[in-house]
Structure 1
Amino acid sequence: MIAVLGADSPIGLTVIRELGERGLPLLAQGKTPQALGRYSKHVKHFVSTSAPIAEWLPQLVAQHGIEAILAYSEHHLLQLATLKGALGNCRVLVPDAGRLATVLDKQRTFAAAARVGISVPASWSPAPGENFAERAATLAYPVAIKWPDPNYVASALAAQGLDLEKVEYAKSAQELLAILRRYDAVGLWPLVQTWCPGQGLGQMLHMHGGHATLRFQHKRLREWPPTGGVSSFCEAVPLDQHQAQMDLSEALLREIGWEGPAMVEYRHDPATGSYWLMEINGRFWGSIPLAYHAGAHFAWETYRCRVLGQSDAAQPELKSRRARYVIPDSKHIAAILRDSRLPLGRRLRATIGFLADFADPRVRYYVWSWRDPKPFFGDMLAIVRRALRRGS
């Protein structure tokens, strides 16, 4: 029995499908009884709990004879890293705590990137006692504002009633200072980075023994929110493109000592050929359904290398695919239509393109699958129930 933690999202659902299609018996865990993955035909057992892992996982491992555990949320990965070696013969297929800490801290990630020759955005880390106004006046705008280690600050922000923002943007020193003042009571401030032009390019690798055994890459076509967030529509990019950068991505993961799956995320400017590192996702990432549909199966590769002990490269012939996360993608186009600052022609072209993509034979979906349709209908039912509760 293999346990997949985090069946609540398309990421967990994709991991379930990859392993289940190869005949592995699966137990899935979700935070709620309506978790997407529980409806998959591949799931033999499902448990719903949001309690700390140490309170329920050891008993579950013993009860079901779990052979290996996979997870993707940083919350779960951090907890599982402390349980390695404490679950008998069960393989905990997550990074060790030290390397995970490196990829979760953008400053440490950028330092490693500089050592292997990867460009990073110019950054400023506001510190106590520093004159923020003077420094803000020297920056080139716009700038992106993001936390270098979101997990480290989450509890401190919550204690002050503040939301953890994935990324914010400021077009002027005044806007930047207003954002920074929000965190004065916390005594911690986010990282400020120069804005990098171009489009999102993700290079995905599975590392084993210091080498990549599987590679994939994609570019973002749309995201939600449009200013930067989850990839709502993305496209596979052939591996004969960006080859030199893929080699650098592998060198970066080797420099960190990474083992397992990771996505190295860049902003790529086709006009200049420049690449700027944004972050490393040291886990299964949000757009992994695209890799799955294109034939790059990273969850299976993790199991194959770590449990079956097969260390040879397993690069398949990849299919030309696009993948769509329908609800966020619908929110994206709705936001474009409502944005009166955009020319009408641009909004109309975006709408026509959005609708035409439903007829594109290359397009697959984050949730819907003819081979495993029940998660889609379970998700639709959950959406209807939430809407009815809001209306009552």
Structure 2
Amino acid sequence: MNGQANPASPPCFVLGIDTQIGVGVIRELGRAGVRVVGLANRSRSIGLASRYLARGVVVGPARDDALVRRIRELGDEYGSAILLAISEADLTWLITHREALGSVKVIAPEADVFRRVLDKAQTLKLAETVGIRVPRTHAPTSLTSWREACTAMRYPAVVKWADPIAAMPRLHKHGLSLQKLEFAADEAALGRIGERFVPAQIWPLIQEYWPGRGLGQFFFMHGGQAVRRFQHLRIAEWPPEGGFSSVCDALSLSQHQDLQERSIALLRAVGWEGCAMVEYRLDDATGEAALMEINGRFWGSFPLAVHAGAGFARLAYQLQGQGIRPALPPLNEELRCRMVISEIKRLMRILFQPGKIQDPFFCIRPGHELWRFARDFLRPEARYYLWDHRDPGPMLADLRNYALRLLKR
């Protein structure tokens, strides 16, 4: 560790250390001298392999009374603790149970604030009030209103859920899967998508297509002020037409300054405190950006922020948890971060399954993609979502898990 763990400070419990996000939180806190106790969903969670973990506890995937008791017991054992969560589902659960966890202090938003962030329709309405451009959006509540929206839309159209967590149980009850993003090229295709949800009587949002790449702006809000900010541009995504970042570049804060201020105004309008990502689609041709959503949690490309020294997990632990504002280093804004396994999947799709790419405007350039993938291994400023020579365990554990999945197939 860069600093010795301070036994006088409370440990930080991290719930959900099964992904690169949890590993990033562990590394950032551990290097700052915080005792990190990881609460893992399974025994093969990659976070359990990090050298920066003071202790790992397998609590299982269930979010029930048994987990409440286990967290209370751990809190009693340590005297007190600060608890961070990774996923939206875990944050939702903790918001409901925070008063039942004894001496453990939960870092999570207020319930009404979190609901506003999870509901994309509410977020888009608030965004318009602070001058942020939003895609034209319809929120159907019946098959009839869905068909009316089909007639009114410009194509292609994008289909996404206003609140995926709320929709998921109802969809699963009727044997329907939740897809993060769907594209419809014309009215007939959009109509067929809507008919699929008749059994559940719940429908997603319909949004106009907005071209470009993902621009993420990240803020730590405290007392209505942005005490730390960071931003990145997505270079490649999985799936290729849009999903989560597999390659992203840090951007100088001198860029998109007006948009940063509007993002901060939006977070104030929401009433947000703590860490959040405001995600846009940036049209390279026009320079215009349209809001996609707010992520009120640590995001998928969080390792880039860790490599850059942004300190968002430290702020959550120290500023929200202890009322102490840590001294953070200057940002390193010259980095690129990669998730190689997702990059390989993306390359396979582009090279061998281009027909599966739903976005009708996605530009397929196999030679460019192969050259960029190979060249990035030689970039001195390249970093990785999982690989870190100071902490190789999580990457090795991920490769082990991947090999086991292949063997089972």
Interval of TM-score (by shorter of Structure 1 and Structure 2):
over 0.9
How do residues 167-246 of structure 1 correspond to structure 2 at under 5 angstroms? 167-246=181-260
1:296 and 1:257 mapped to 2: Cα distance?
22
Give the match for residue 289 of structure 1: 303
Does residue 350 of the first structure (1) align with residue 369 of the second (2)? yes
Does residue 144 of the first structure (1) align with residue 158 of the second (2)? yes
**TM-score by structure 1 length?**
0.95
Give the match for residue 110 of structure 1: 124
How do residues 93-132 of structure 1 correspond to structure 2 at under 5 angstroms? 93-128=107-142, 130=144, 132=146
The alpha carbon displacement at 1:141 in A equals 0.5
Does residue 50 of the first structure (1) align with residue 61 of the second (2)? yes
1:313 and 1:257 mapped to 2: Cα distance?
25
1:357 and 1:229 mapped to 2: Cα distance?
21
Contact 2:116–2:123 under 8 Å retained in 1: yes
Task: Structure 2: state its 5+ residue gaps.
Answer: 1-10
Q: Deviations over 1:230-282 (max 9, x none)?
A: 11000001000000000111111011110110000001123222111100000
Does residue 68 of the first structure (1) align with residue 82 of the second (2)? yes
Whichever residue aligns with residue 154 of structure 1, its letter is M
Whichever residue aligns with residue 330 of structure 1, its letter is I
Contact 2:334–2:381 under 8 Å retained in 1: yes
What is the aligned residue count?
Answer: 390
Contact 1:53–1:76 under 8 Å retained in 2: no
Give the match for residue 368 of structure 1: 387
Does residue 80 of the first structure (1) align with residue 90 of the second (2)? no
Q: Please identify, of 67-76 and 300-309, the stretch whose mean Cα deviation from structure 2 is larger.
A: 300-309
Give the match for residue 336 of structure 2: 322
Contact 1:145–1:192 under 8 Å retained in 2: yes
2:111 and 2:191 mapped to 1: Cα distance?
34
Whichever residue aligns with residue 229 of structure 1, its letter is G
SS of the counterpart of 1:186? coil
State, as a whole percentage, how many aligned pairs show the same letter.
Answer: 42
| CA shift in 2, pair 1:304/1:26, >3 Å | same
2:296 and 2:364 mapped to 1: Cα distance?
40
The alpha carbon displacement at 1:29 in A equals 1.3
Does residue 158 of the first structure (1) align with residue 179 of the second (2)? no
SS of the counterpart of 2:395? helix
Give the match for residue 33 of structure 1: 43
SS of the counterpart of 1:51? coil
Task: Structure 1: state its 5+ residue gaps.
Answer: none
Q: Please identify, of 286-295 and 332-341, the stretch whose mean Cα deviation from structure 2 is larger.
A: 332-341
Whichever residue aligns with residue 170 of structure 2, its letter is A
Q: Please identify, of 164-173 and 89-98, the stretch whose mean Cα deviation from structure 2 is larger.
A: 89-98
Give the match for residue 383 of structure 1: 402
1:273 aligned residue (287, 300, 306): 287
2:253 and 2:89 mapped to 1: Cα distance?
32
1:239 and 1:161 mapped to 2: Cα distance?
45
The alpha carbon displacement at 1:305 in A equals 0.9
SS of the counterpart of 1:248? helix
2:330 and 2:97 mapped to 1: Cα distance?
33
| CA shift in 2, pair 1:348/1:125, >3 Å | same
2:363 and 2:404 mapped to 1: Cα distance?
36
SS of the counterpart of 2:255? coil
The alpha carbon displacement at 1:197 in A equals 1.5
**TM-score by structure 2 length?**
0.91
Q: Please identify, of 7-16 and 292-301, the stretch whose mean Cα deviation from structure 2 is larger.
A: 292-301
The alpha carbon displacement at 1:119 in A equals 1.1
The alpha carbon displacement at 1:315 in A equals 7.0
2:34 aligned residue (16, 24, 27): 24
The alpha carbon displacement at 1:314 in A equals 4.9
Indicate the RMSD between aligned Cα atoms, in angstroms. 1.9
Contact 1:212–1:313 under 8 Å retained in 2: no
The alpha carbon displacement at 1:313 in A equals 8.4
Q: Deviations over 1:15-73 (max 9, x none)?
A: 00000001111110121111010000111221221121542222332234341000120
2:363 and 2:21 mapped to 1: Cα distance?
36
| CA shift in 2, pair 1:262/1:345, >3 Å | closer
Whichever residue aligns with residue 137 of structure 2, its letter is S
The alpha carbon displacement at 1:76 in A equals 0.5
1:255 aligned residue (257, 266, 269): 269
SS of the counterpart of 1:296? coil
The alpha carbon displacement at 1:339 in A equals 4.2
| CA shift in 2, pair 1:344/1:18, >3 Å | closer
